[in-house]
Amino acid sequence: MAQIQFQFGKKDEYFTPAYAVYPIIPYLRPGAAVWCPFDTQDSAYVRVFSANGFRVIYGHIQTGEDFFQADVPECDYIISNPPYSLRTQVMERLYAIGRPFAMLINFQGIFGSQKRFQLFKTHRVEMIWLSPRVEYMTGQGELLQGVPFQSGYLCSGICPNQLEFVYLDKNRPEKE
């Protein structure tokens, strides 16, 4: 494992471990269609949702599917870990699309921008706080320890309560 060194230029290329996908599943309708718009076939979202009976539609900028240009597929939910540097634009588009969504993001400073504050003031927002902190992975599959921020799911139309608190099981084996 590597000691974490979040680099500003590379802050969008951190990947989600499977254990951080499981907490969202109890909030979803079994067998629903989930669009993962920042994901390739190797993504933990694609693997875990597929193995747990969901219909998964996925796309990634590297395979030519730009979230901001893509036609919205038939889906019940939009769920992923989006690029950090584009979080405001991602939120704007998600609310414009109007489907239930859950995005795993760094919660630090999430209400600190005027634009996001206004967005969350005028739309339904829910937060699932996760403990312990999610440790992300590099593109080489290395788990980064000592993550310096708290992340969780920022959702809309997913949770009954606006604040939820969920424990992570970091040792949970991934179902094939």
Provide the binding-site residues for ligand SAM, judged by CB under 6 A.
12-16, 37-39, 43-45, 60-61, 66-68, 80-83, 86
Nearer to ligand SAM, 40 or 122 (CB): 40
**Minimum CB–partner distance for residue 97 and ligand SAM (Å):** 14
Please, what is the minimum distance in Å from the beta carbon of residue 158 to ligand SAM?
Answer: 17
CB of 121 to ligand SAM, least distance (A): 25
**C-alpha–C-alpha distance, residues 28 and 93, integer Å:** 21
Query: By C-beta, is 19 or 67 nearer to ligand SAM?
Result: 67
Closest CA to 36 of 15, 66, 57: 57
User: Least distance to ligand SAM from the beta carbon of 15, Å?
Assistant: 3
**Residue closer to ligand SAM (CB basis): 60 or 116:** 60
Nearer to ligand SAM, 43 or 156 (CB): 43
- Strands 151-156 and 126-131: what pairing? antiparallel
CB count within 10 Å of CB 43 equals 21
Strand 77-80 and strand 101-106: the pairing is parallel
How does DSSP classify residue 142? P
Identify which of residues 38 and 101 has a Cβ nearer to ligand SAM in the complex.
38
Kindly state the smallest distance separating residue 44's Cβ from ligand SAM, in Å: 6
State the residue for tokens 């099981």.
Answer: 169
Long-range CB contacts (< 8 A, 24+ apart) of 89-96? 91/116, 91/119, 91/154, 92/119, 93/67, 93/68, 94/156, 95/119, 95/123, 95/156
